[in-house]
Amino acid sequence: MSHNSALAWRVWRLRPWNSNPLMRASDRWEALFRLLAVAVMLLAVPVAAAVGTATYSSSAERISVENAAKTEVPATVLTEPKQTVAAGPAQAAHFEAQIQWKRDGDFGKGTIEVRRDTKVGSTVHTWLGPDGLPGDPPQKPASAVTNGIGTGVALLIGVGFALLSLLWCVSQVLDRLHALRWESELRGLGRPIGT
């Protein structure tokens, strides 16, 4: 008999409806909890897929609406770049400068992040949000895919962790009950010393 078939036979013998009289009731309950955990995990897969798809759809719609409200405009640098964040071991230094732009005949001013070597009077391109102030560039549509997949995987990991924790707790309680039963049975077998 191969190792795989022996393992499959041992797993089959642990089923809760096994007619073996030597199988304890607590072992049957533990096997039943394990089967329920597998069933819940299998049911969690399509639920996680549905939640991930819904997250993707809402993220894609939100990104599309936000990107449609942003406009790229050329702007003129008014001040020398000023360091706002010092360089560290894990990050580069950040510099900001004031800029001025013209949009629909109106001038606007703001502060944006620029490169260190940006010169006063040079032209940079910036993105304006719906409020007319400089903001972040448009998000890539691929980030909606990342949000959807991340949500689905996080849900599966959370369900799996919760089930493993529950199974561990059940196993610990049953092991403690087994130990107490063994201890009481062993006390009943032995005679007190001196008798």
At residue 190, the pLDDT reads: 66
- Considering only the C-alpha atoms of the chain, give the largest distance between any 2 of them, rounded to a whole number of Å: 109
CATH for 71-135, options being 1.10.3470, 3.40.50, 3.30.70, 2.40.50:
2.40.50
Q: Could you tell me the pLDDT band of residue 14, with boundaries at 50, 70 and 90?
A: low
At residue 49, the pLDDT reads: 97
Q: What is the pTM of this model?
A: 0.65
Q: Which residues of 108-130 are buried (b: 16+ CB within 10 A; e: fewer)?
A: beeebebeeebeeeeebebebee
Residue 1: pLDDT over 60: no
CA distance 97 to 109: 11
Average pLDDT over residues 154-158: 97
CA distance 23 to 17: 10
Element containing residue 137 per DSSP (H, E): none
Q: Could you tell me the pLDDT band of residue 34, with boundaries at 50, 70 and 90?
A: confident
At residue 186, the pLDDT reads: 79
CA distance 119 to 117: 6
What is the DSSP code string of 151-195? HHHHHHHHHHHHHHHHHHHHHHHHHHHHHHHHHHHHHHHSPPTT-
CA distance 126 to 30: 62
Average pLDDT over residues 89-118: 85
At residue 191, the pLDDT reads: 65
Which CA distances in Å does 86 have to 3, 90, 91, 92, 93? 61, 11, 8, 7, 5
* 3-state DSSP assignment of residue 5: helix
CA distance 18 to 25: 11
